[in-house]
Structures are given as C-alpha cells and as structure tokens.
Amino acid sequence: MTFPAAVPEIPVANVELATAYYVDRLGFGLDWGDEAGGIAGVSRGDCRLFLTNGWFRGSYGNAGPVLIWLNVSSKAEVDELFGEWQGAGARIVAGPEDKPWMLREFMTADLDGNLIRVFYDFRRDVGSHG
C-alpha cells in the first residue's frame, strides 16, 4: 500500500479569518468550507490543509498551535517562497538559513500562532556540483 500525502488539521480561532490569511498571504486557494461548518480546505499544488475552529474540534479536544513542515525541491525554492511570502506580508518567524542539520529552512506563523517550516534537505547535494 502506498500512503497518500497527509492532510494536516490546523486549529484556528476563526475559519474565515484564517482562510483569508492562507489565501492572501500564503497563496493557497480556498477549496471549500466556512466558519459555519467549522472547517475549510485550502490547497496549493499538492499541499492540502484543513483549517478547523474550536466548535469543529470540540469532540476531540485537539488544540494548537501546531507546526507543519513543507519539503520543497531545492534551496532556490526555499528562498523563492520566502521572498513571495515576505512580500505578501506573511508573519515571518525566521528567515532562510542553512542549518547544521543540513536543511535550508525558514519559518512563518499564521494568525493563530501555528508554524509552517519550509525546508530543503541538502544532504543529497553535498559533494555534488549544482
């Protein structure tokens, strides 16, 4: 069995405010949902996220903030996405940096303090040219 891509559930205070941030600041598209239903689906490329309010999460009790990691395909993509999100007014927590654990990464936060860590694992590039 091949597992599909995971779809993280992101706890938010207000689905419509959170959705607007993900669309306007992070470039996601709204697929469906609203505050009344307590859940919305947003996506960008192959990345899908569910944004859920307290009412929707009430029976399970899961709460935020959470941290999700987005694995992009190159150092250049890390820097490109950082520039895009910074230019759109996203809440940048840490700028792009090559870490000792061989990841180039940056971090941003949404309105509810959930963190998105964008990274590229450059171990595969060590010793190669390009």
Each residue's pLDDT tens digit in the chain (130 positions)?
Answer: 999 989 999 999 999 999 999 999 999 999 999 999 999 999 999 999 999 999 999 988 889 999 999 999 999 999 999 999 999 999 999 999 999 999 999 999 999 999 999 999 999 887 655 4
Predicted confidence at residue 121, as pLDDT, reads 96
* Lookup: tokens for 35: 């505050």
Q: What Å distances lie between residue 63 and 52, 55, 73, 110, CA to CA?
A: 10, 11, 30, 15
Give SS3 for 20: helix
Q: Which structural domains are found in the chain, ordered by start?
A: 9-57+65-125 (3.10.180.10)
Q: Which residues contact 58 (CB under 8 A, 6 or more apart)?
A: none
Predicted confidence at residue 130, as pLDDT, reads 47
Predicted confidence at residue 39, as pLDDT, reads 98
Q: Which residues contact 91 (CB under 8 A, 6 or more apart)?
A: 25, 108, 109, 110, 111
Predicted confidence at residue 127, as pLDDT, reads 64
What global pTM score does this model have? 0.92
